[in-house]
Amino acid sequence: MLTAAAFFAAKLAHETDPADLAAARAAGTGPVVVDVRSQAAWDQGHLPGAVHLPDVTRAADVLPDRDADVVVHCWGPGCNGATKAALALAEQGWTRVRELVGGYEYWVREGFAVVTPAGRQRRTPDPLTAPAAG
């Protein structure tokens, strides 16, 4: 039987949230971020430095290091595209795959930078997802 501690430890090993991802990237230890959304979604906006890979069957062409730390995301909590992509990458041999909790939606809602057709920008953090600057 899986204990609560084992369950939550496993969950944390396979997920990260926007704040932790942003902190890792700021520290220079950030993973490869893979965006599995459609081209139209990518064009609307994406995380700076992310890799666009809507078809993970092509992952070996884009992510040659199967031991790389990889974080996969889709739109948000209502989309399971990142879960499906993370599973596919793991089945193809990537050993360090995590999912971004909340996806692109929560990255934006927490006020982190995105790249849009207008350039790099940030939105004011949503007070329901991130503390107000003090």
DSSP 35-101: E-S-HHHHHH-B-TTPEE-S-GGGHHHH---TTSEEEEE-SSTT--HHHHHHHHHHHTT-SEEEEET
Q: How far apart are CA 43 and CA 115, in angstroms?
A: 9
**Which residue type is seen at 51?**
V
Encoding tokens for residue 47?
């995380």
**Which residue type is seen at 78?**
G
Encoding tokens for residue 7?
């369950």
pLDDT per residue of the chain (134 residues) written in tens, 0 to 9: 779 999 999 999 999 999 999 999 999 998 999 999 999 999 999 999 999 999 999 999 999 899 999 999 999 999 999 999 999 999 999 999 999 999 999 999 999 999 999 999 999 999 998 776 65
Q: How far apart are CA 103 and CA 101, in angstroms?
A: 5
- pLDDT computed for residue 131 by the predictor: 73
- pLDDT computed for residue 132 by the predictor: 67
Residue 128 is classified by DSSP as T
* pTM for the model: 0.92
Domains and CATH numbers, the chain: 15-23+30-121 (3.40.250.10)
The continuous run of DSSP H or E covering 114 comes out as strand 114-116
- pLDDT computed for residue 23 by the predictor: 96
